[in-house]
Structure 1
Amino acid sequence: MIESLTLNFQENIEFGQKPNNFGEEEKQEEEKYPGIEQTDVFVEILQSCPFYRLRSFEIRGLHPHTLSRPYLYECGTSAMWRQFSLGLQEVRDQAVARIIEAAVIAATAEPNPLPNNSTIDTNVRSRGIRRLTISDSTSFRKLSLQMITDTSLSTTLEELDVQRCGYFRSEEMHFVLSRLPNLRVADFRCRDKMAVLSPYSGLLPKKLSYEEELKYGYTSPPSSPAGTEDDIPVIPPRIWACCGSLRSLRIGVTNASIERYTDGHYYRGFEMWIRGAEIYWIRDHPETRKPYPEALHWFFDQIATLTQLKELCLVTVEPEYHTTRSLEISLKAGLDRWSTLRDLECLDVEELDHSIGLEDVKWMVDNWPALRTIRGLIHETDMFLSEAVIWLRNARPDIELPVSTVVPRMNAVQAMNYYGDDDDL
């Protein structure tokens, strides 16, 4: 019987008609697009074949479309392209949802004929998909999420891997993690590093309701003046359903503000803030902004609730048009808030500008007794070893320090210190 199944869409398969001015003939309404036809085939396969032992399921090949700057979608070609892209996402979302639903039904259906053995009762009770992978897609949206949280997947799923899926944003991450009590592995990294996907693929504080904004001071009643920046408290972490089961979390870290040293062409001197835990690209509201350090503290506090975590992989998420600051893994920034992660065995920060120093690794050794691997302290481009690495090799030679082939990213301040300001060139 089949326990693992991968469905791969044809490369660049069409799900919709581009606007007329793109120079293509308009398809007749009764004609089905190749993507819809292939979806029908996948659903028919799942409905007609015996998949009651299916445990691992993967959907691949729904490659994302590249979108332009959000503020350019105002008129003409840009507006039509945006409308087409959004419509395409909805159609693909429906396709993914149909396939997931068919797979869930197939994996939980009674085998016919019933296997003639004594283990049938156990097999029936343990049926269901345990590992779900969605890759190369901007189509993992509302309907697809509902097929995970509103079906038997909500209790059977142990591993969710969303590879290179644009627009699987912080809101979706909170939604999923709050509804999957048996989830053990979550991989939400945007692995292809496509700039168009990056601003949406990192974990941010959960969007607050109006009542919560009032409670935590982010919105003032109409009759009262807005609070000052100093009056804004920290948003508390959310207790996810999988806090007691999650063993591995691989996730992007979205920055809460940007350097004043931006690209100079579009956003010179512009600062991006979190208001009510939402990124505002253009409209800034300083009276309700959330300062950058507090947003980092929220991230530390949220991860600290995952007390059974054994692997933590953090990746810097870089917005497309800004030079950003990254999450620092240091005592100064709030590393001591992770004292609850006593089962942590592997810390992977090779794609994060982490600023880990000597005192920080000493703290890790003292507070994480199960620690066996730290990725990202040594890069093959390093000219010399850091104090932290030298100390670890002497004090804890049992902790593995793999050499990373990832080239460390230089942030704006580091770049100015290294190359000098433009005026000095």
Structure 2
Amino acid sequence: MRTIDLRGRALQVAELLAVVPRAAEARATALHVAAEIVDDVRVRGEVALREQAERFDGAIDHAIRVPAEHIADAVATLDPQVRAALEEAIRRVRAASAAQVPEPRTTELGPGARVTQRWQPVSRVGVYVPGGKAVYPSSVVMNVVPAQVAGVQSVALASPPQRDHNGRVHPTILAAAGLLGVDEVYAMGGAGAIGALAHGVASLALDPVDVVSGPGNNFVAAAKRAVAGVVGTDSEAGATEILIIADETADPRLIAYDLVSQAEHDEQASAVLVTPSQVLAEDVAAQVALVSTATRHADRVAAALGGEQSAIVLVDDLAAAEAFSNAYAPEHLEIHVADATASAARCTSAGAVFVGSYTPVSLGDYLAGSNHVLPTGGQSRYAAGLGSHTFLRPQQVIEYDRGALDAVRSAIVALAEAEALPAHGEAVTARFDA
């Protein structure tokens, strides 16, 4: 991992943004390619999807719409321990997601004048579950459960066809879908799957969805940007990111394991340590060298940690580390400092915050109860992670009786005249004509 030394430099936010490690070129390329793939699916539908499956996944003549018996077989043959783990994850995510659904609230503005705030679920959701370098049944849980809790009635799930499974969706992903009652599943992957969910594919009886959600690589994230405006999307959850704030009290071995754990996702994964302690930085670098070479996906980890998106950042003090984190706005933020709770309160821009040495990102990936579909690329400065709120639309319902309208009649007329829109006022006064 390269080292970025910011000590002795009082940097403003814009300057911090200029030095934070990002794979900007990779994201720019992904956006151009993804837009072309999405448009190809919009125009040519199933033909484009089959060509893309052969090119990217090595799948030929597979059933894009997954037969119901494939899902049933996957549930029946699911490893009992994996099933138990998935069921516990479902229970925890369901409980935490329920807290994200607000109750309707009515405001009485006067006699006979009320405005009710309610939250309406969208009708149909398209969920994307990655399936390239790893298998993500946990992402099925993280996407489907919040949608169900929100009250969504129709869920379509897409995941890449697997060459090792004769072009079928990975059976563990199918099993997770089956456990949640999802029976509309498609073997299609990448940006093309996002385009298909957004635009629909008539030959597959795939109707367009209202919202597309789910994590993926940078091409999947870029495809969401390409379909924005056609459908709603969650945040662009692209290649994973971890940023760790640590001081001299932290355990370098645990930090190394946590950096490596996220780097194994993808060569484009970002792993960043920010610390005011040079001793800790050196110890972590040594531990990373040991841990990364001993893990199963050592080559992938080495590519991620050696990329421009990963670094050890040296700063003057904890305040500078927190400022750097807020500028970077990571997907996952871990805090390993003496008073981690206080530091977490000051770190306001992160997809999810993991406080203390016994709260690793791996916990959040599976069984914390929180959601692991989170904004990447700095978007947590303004975007939220996936939750039931992703699938809800706030609506205001206005109800006034005659007396309540009469009480504001003159004010409406005055404002209508001030805006040179007299018919607005006339629409009110007409209700009181003899």
Q: State the TM-score, normalized to the length of structure 2.
A: 0.24
More helix by share: 2
Q: Work out which of the two has the higher radius of gyration on C-alpha atoms and give 1 or 2.
A: 2
